[in-house]
Amino acid sequence: MTTLPPLISGPTGTGPRAVPAGDPLIEFSGVGKRFRRTAGCYGLKDWLAQRVRRRGRETRATGWTDALRNVSFCLHRGEALALLGRNGSGKSTVLSLAAGVLRPTTGRVTIRGRVSPLLGLGAGVHPDLTGRENVYLNGVLLGLTRREVRARFGAIEAFAELGELMEQPVRYYSSGMLARLGFSVATHLDPELLIVDEILAVGDAAFQAKCYARIAEQRARGLTMLYVSHEVSTVLKLCDRVLYLQGGRVAAQGAPQAVCGRYYADQGLTLGPATSEPAMQGEAPCAS
């Protein structure tokens, strides 16, 4: 396979860009991502012992890990694509590349439009700032003016339901409170592309239902979404296509019922009755 030079176009934080109707918002072309493995430390005693043995030398490399290998897909405006796979299959790495947090080792990642990522609890927030201050910080980072953020703050505050805690530093927030703040900010700042990485799993049942209703509402308005969840029922309900990753490679992509069925079958499980959706495909080209 020909290795293309790493490229990320249209990074986050540069404000909205006009995207031609036929161009995908996200395009992965033969993407690979490699991380260096290092000698591990399993506590303060082990760390000090290694420091003494190395006498200040840098951490010793023990090899490389290929998190992604030759991954190609496109996400067009108005689509919702789910990423499925067991833990360690590369889902979060794909999301981090799509959000501009990481750069590919090989291949090309092209991003067009304003991205609003929900990559994990506490991501994109400063622990010493209050909830209110973090709302403004995220809005400015996404390319909005303070006036535009101010106009949306009331809706963000009402949706998050944090009350007086909105004026407290987020370092004192529980995981559920962080999820409330993060989701409310991400979905009320007019993103062209919403990236969600299982953050809703920590919320209470009532707030989860509220979030899924909010996603469904924005999907009806044409929101584009890249979504990771182990809840297949939610994937079937919210997403148009599914990309199934296995060992950092694309195992299948296509219609949700078919690909989710393959994902279940590979684990010795049964999804349920098949639908009349088209069969899954090994690889889908970028077609406008």
- Confidence at residue 47, expressed as pLDDT on a 0 to 100 scale: 56
CATH at 83 = 3.40.50.300
- Confidence at residue 83, expressed as pLDDT on a 0 to 100 scale: 96
Which residues, 6+ apart, have CB-to-CB distance to 11 below 8 Å? 100, 111
**HEC sequence for the chain:** CCCCCCCEECCCCCCCCCCCCCCCCEEEEEEEEEEEEECCCCCHHHHHHHHHHHCCCCCCEEEEEEEEEEEEEEECCCCEEEEECCCCCCHHHHHHHHCCCCCCCEEEEEECCCEEEECCCCCCCCCCCEHHHHHHHHHHHCCCCHHHHHHHHHHHHHHHCCHHHHHCEHHHCCHHHHHHHHHHHHHHCCCCEEEEECHHHHCCHHHHHHHHHHHHHHHHCCCEEEEECCCHHHHHHHCCEEEEEECCEEEEEECHHHHHHHHHHCCCCCCCCCCCCCCCECCCCCCC
Q: Based on the structure, what is the number of domains in the chain?
A: 1
- Confidence at residue 57, expressed as pLDDT on a 0 to 100 scale: 53
In a domain, 177, yes or no: yes
Is the pTM above the cut of 0.85? no
Averaged pLDDT, groups of 10, the chain, 288 residues long: 36 38 87 82 61 57 86 95 94 91 94 74 77 91 87 94 94 89 86 80 79 87 89 90 96 95 93 55 54
**Structural contact between residues 178 and 125, judged by C-beta atoms closer than 8 angstroms:** yes
In a domain, 155, yes or no: yes
- Confidence at residue 2, expressed as pLDDT on a 0 to 100 scale: 33
Where b means 16+ CB within 10 Å and e means fewer, 10-36 reads bebeeeeeebeeebbbbbbbbbbbeee
- Confidence at residue 74, expressed as pLDDT on a 0 to 100 scale: 96
In a domain, 48, yes or no: yes
In a domain, 262, yes or no: no
In a domain, 257, yes or no: no
- Confidence at residue 101, expressed as pLDDT on a 0 to 100 scale: 85
In a domain, 253, yes or no: no
In a domain, 207, yes or no: yes
Where b means 16+ CB within 10 Å and e means fewer, 50-66 reads eeeeeeeeeeeeeeeeb
Task: Give dist(CA 245, CA 238) in Å, integer.
Answer: 19
- Confidence at residue 84, expressed as pLDDT on a 0 to 100 scale: 95
- Confidence at residue 17, expressed as pLDDT on a 0 to 100 scale: 39
In a domain, 265, yes or no: no
Domain range holding 227? 8-15+24-240
